[in-house]
Chain A
Amino acid sequence: MNDDDLQRELVSLPIKYLHQLAKGRIHRHFRLGKRRLIDCILALPSAQKMAIANDLQQISSVPKKSTTGSNRAQPHSPFYPQPSSPKKSHTSESTSPPIVLQDLLEGIGVPEPTAFIPDNWQREAVEAIAQSDVIVSAPTGSGKTFVATEAIKQAMASKQTVIYTSPLKALSNTKYMEFSEYFGKDTVGILTGDRRDNAQAPLLIMTTEILRNILYDATSGDLDLRLHTLGLVILDESQYLADPERGVVWEETLILCPTETRLLLLSASIGNPQELAEWLTSIRPNTSCHLIRHTKRSVPLRSLYLHPTGQLVPLLENRDIQQRKGYRFHPETKRLFNEYEFKPYH
């Protein structure tokens, strides 16, 4: 084995093994980094290098066997044009370590339909909206709509008008259907630029632009909506406040909103909900703004890495994705991804 081969072998080895090799041969080897270590090993007299090469073969024989084994099962050929038959990829899967996935994939399934029990944060939000403005910052799909519907129920019970705004017409339409089903067709109206369906209903759905225009008209005197009975304004997807083109509309709406009206801002997870809450508290004299920040997902989320050859391995070392604790890729993912970057399958 010449120097170049040896170097290549050493480079591909984890540093743990390098230290093992250097033990007793290189003074204070544990203080050295990988590259320095390799340089030192290569600088050793040739007799010692021979010995190292021998040790190296012993070390590398164990992990190498498995890689060559799986390589045979995975075709390196361009993969995209012809999909492999399911049988073929099944064999490749059987060679991949099954232990890791078992743990990761367990628990897939549909829970028994149970009575809906609101989470603590949801209950807290619903209680808070009775007294003050509320900002809810919670991940997608964690049940912000529940807070909205409860708040609407509360407001409608005290004969107040509720306005629900969303950034997109498509979302307005979905919500219109959803609420029509939930509250009954007569109680829900929708306003768009040119159409008003059931505009006298106690619950009105519109895009934020429309609400802004209504508030403009109200402040300039030609009031056309029952703003005096307006009890609650719900702004869905409030993180649109940061939209470069349309964000200003959200701000205008919040500034111009009558101070007697309660505000409920529903937003996806954002970095600075506290700042938003402070702002709203500072501009709305009569009430403070209550911040409900919920970062935990109601359904745990796990991550997987799917290699183009069809191998499914864990993406991260932790089983569940945990927020704000850093991340470490699973070693198998690292190995496969390096392989992919070296020789993409396309």
Chain B
Amino acid sequence: MPPAIHPIDLVDILRRHRLTPAIIFLTSRRGCDEAIDTFIHSTAGVSATRSKDIRVFLEQFAKDFPSIENHPLIPVVQDYGVAAHHAGHLPSWKMAIEELMRQGLLDAVFATTTLAAGVDFPARTVVISQSSVRKSQDFSDLTVSEIQQLAGRGGRRGKDFVGFVVVTPSPYIDLHVLGKGLTGQPESIDSQFVVSYPMVLNLLKAHTLDQIEGLLAKSFAQFQLNQRAAIHQERLNELHEQLKPYGPRECADWVAQWKVFDLARRRKAHRRPVVNTDSPYLTACLPFLTPGRLIGLAKGPAIILRQYRSRGTGTPMLSVLHTKGTIGECQAQRVMHIYDHVYEFHPIRTLPWCPPSTLHHFKQVLSQLPSRLPTVPIFEASQEADDPLLTEILTDQFACPTCPSHAACKKDFTSASRLQLKAQQVSKTIQALLDGLWHQFQRKADVLHKFGYLTANLQLTDEGEWGRLIRINHSLLITELIRMDAFSGMAPELLAGVMASIAHDDDRPSNYMRLTPGLASMLTQVRQVADSLSLYEPAPLLRSDVAAIAERWIGQTELSWTSLVRSTSMAEGDVYRLLARTLEFLSQIYGLKGTHPSLADTAHQAMVNMRREVLAELP
């Protein structure tokens, strides 16, 4: 979000209070560009002499860096003494702005916060209009160190008595974040150590495993992990101290012993039915009270239509058809006789509980019943007391029930087991902290062994010998591609295109470009390989548009920088960075000239083609 104040007003106020030169930090590149655009046709110009100084400087600068000669922003910079400075610009243009700023020829530079980490050029005043920055997908508050980096640009040593931080609000600004940032203590830095494949290969090349374990132990990561482990160790000692009163009793490890005993007891307890209030006689009856059974109630005979348990108390209930032809409900314990006769029918789940024809049939049956009917004999099952049996088994296995310290164990078990569990957890954590890096290393080494870069006893294979020279992101993908001969006989521009798409990690969108069929099919293959490797190495974005840009630049040597930039919606600075990074990747491949001479030649050709115009200006 841009600040609420208009950029011209802002610069005007700064000028009037002699607060220039100033760096004005904005959230987005677009914000910077738009702020500059508002100056066009305004009356906020600088004096003619200053304008001339700027022009002279820029002309001089353009001799060394011809790429800025016809920069579209030159008139604004000359006339109004303001400029934009962000990653979308070419490095040479940014250097020109920085140099102008150092010479005090500019009044204001609109910059994105990324500047804070990068190049340093101070000013008298720093304007901050935001308290949060976009990080990957989300907005997050500026950290104290970041704010101090921004504010630190204010006040030039030797050129100012005082520096200023001007806060001006924009939507969603939080003043307290800035207040805290300006006056607070910067955050501690933490190690971000990760073991990468090239690291494993390069370490194994020169060191034995023991040495490597020593080297990893020397890392700042391990240093910080050790500190955390020390804190946990202290807690562990404390826990052991607390566990002392629960030392060995009749058995050495009584807590574990009691735990097993307790579990066994609990399991025994679970054998009983959960809740059953039915009388034994009723329990014995229930299997006979099935739908279709003829029974005798106090009112007379009836046929059971369904059996169920009442919702509330769980009493067994029956739906019955009385002699009168009515359907009613009754408790199962009210059944007086269970006759030895069952009528087959097809039960249904709603009210008449049976088809109407069956109902009609049953009514007829009930009206024609003989007066005497045979009944079913019911035998009550005697309650089996299995408890004593189980107790016996338990005494066989465990001494606990008869142990003299039974009562003490029972009392102390909960607290002792909790302490012991905690102690186990803590010691596990400590172990993980101490071994984490080494395990990480071993996991990576295992993967490399699986792919054949390492032998079983972790010596470098021939593949590993050259593979270790690829020391960039996605190294596994690149070495695998080389091993598959995916690049053999490939044109330089195609190689550069593929490398560009692997190298480019930015998801800032741009327009689609037409792909040559060769590049398209190549990218599809690379994507397949990358997906198959995604278990071991996160796949790159593999954007086809950046591949097309790189291919065009390297393939068409007569193509000028301006027309390349015009063909894409990417910012000039982004294109530059893409190509510079591709160059880095290509130079790594060129480093394989010992083992892959033809591939290295191709890479070299691509590098030579790439280094022209803007890309040849800076080393």
Task: Using CB atoms and an 8 Å cutoff, list the residues of chain A in contact with chain B.
Answer: 79-80, 82-84, 86, 89, 105, 107-111, 113-114, 116, 139-143, 168-171, 173-174, 176, 190, 192-195, 197, 209, 212-213, 216, 219-221, 237, 239, 241-245, 247-248, 251-252, 254-256, 268-272, 275-276, 278-279, 282-283, 297-308, 310, 312, 315-316, 321-327, 329, 333, 337, 340, 344-346
Contacts and interface: CB of A to CB of B under 8 A. Distances in A.
Given A140-B148, A194-B607, A303-B164, A108 B619 contact: no
A142 B157 contact: yes
A306 B10 contact: yes
B328 interface: no
Interface residues of B, number: 92
A171 B17 contact: no
B151 A301 contact: yes
B619 A176 contact: yes
A235 to B, nearest CB: 13
B91 A173 contact: yes
A86 B12 contact: yes
Contacts of A248: 192-194, 196, 199
30 contacts: A79-B4, A109-B161, A114-B158, A116-B158, A140-B148, A141-B156, A169-B618, A170-B94, A174-B119, A194-B587, A194-B607, A197-B619, A219-B207, A220-B468, A221-B206, A248-B192, A248-B194, A252-B199, A254-B220, A268-B148, A301-B165, A302-B162, A304-B165, A304-B167, A305-B166, A310-B9, A321-B182, A324-B183, A327-B180, A344-B4
A303 B187 contact: no
B362 interface: no
Given A107-B161, A241-B189, A327 B91 contact: no
Nearest to B195: A248
B126 to A, nearest CB: 9
Given A109-B161, A110-B160, A316-B182, 13 more contacts: A80-B6, A82-B6, A105-B17, A108-B17, A108-B18, A170-B91, A220-B202, A268-B148, A270-B189, A275-B227, A279-B223, A308-B168, A346-B171
B26 to A, nearest CB: 14
Given A89-B9, A220-B206, A239-B189, A169 B161 contact: no
B122 interface: yes
Contacts of A82: 6
A213 to B, nearest CB: 6
B467 interface: no
A21 B418 CA distance: 59
B13 A312 contact: yes
B152 A326 contact: no
A192 B218 contact: no
A221 B207 CA distance: 11
A108 B607 contact: no
A252 B195 CA distance: 10
Q: Which 8 residue pairs of A and B lie closest in terms of their CB atoms, listed nearest first? A: A140-B152, A299-B155, A242-B189, A247-B192, A194-B587, A271-B188, A308-B4, A272-B188
B140 interface: no
A8 to B, nearest CB: 25
Contacts of A220: 202, 205-206, 468
B204 to A, nearest CB: 9
Contact of B191 (A241, A302, A325, A326): A241
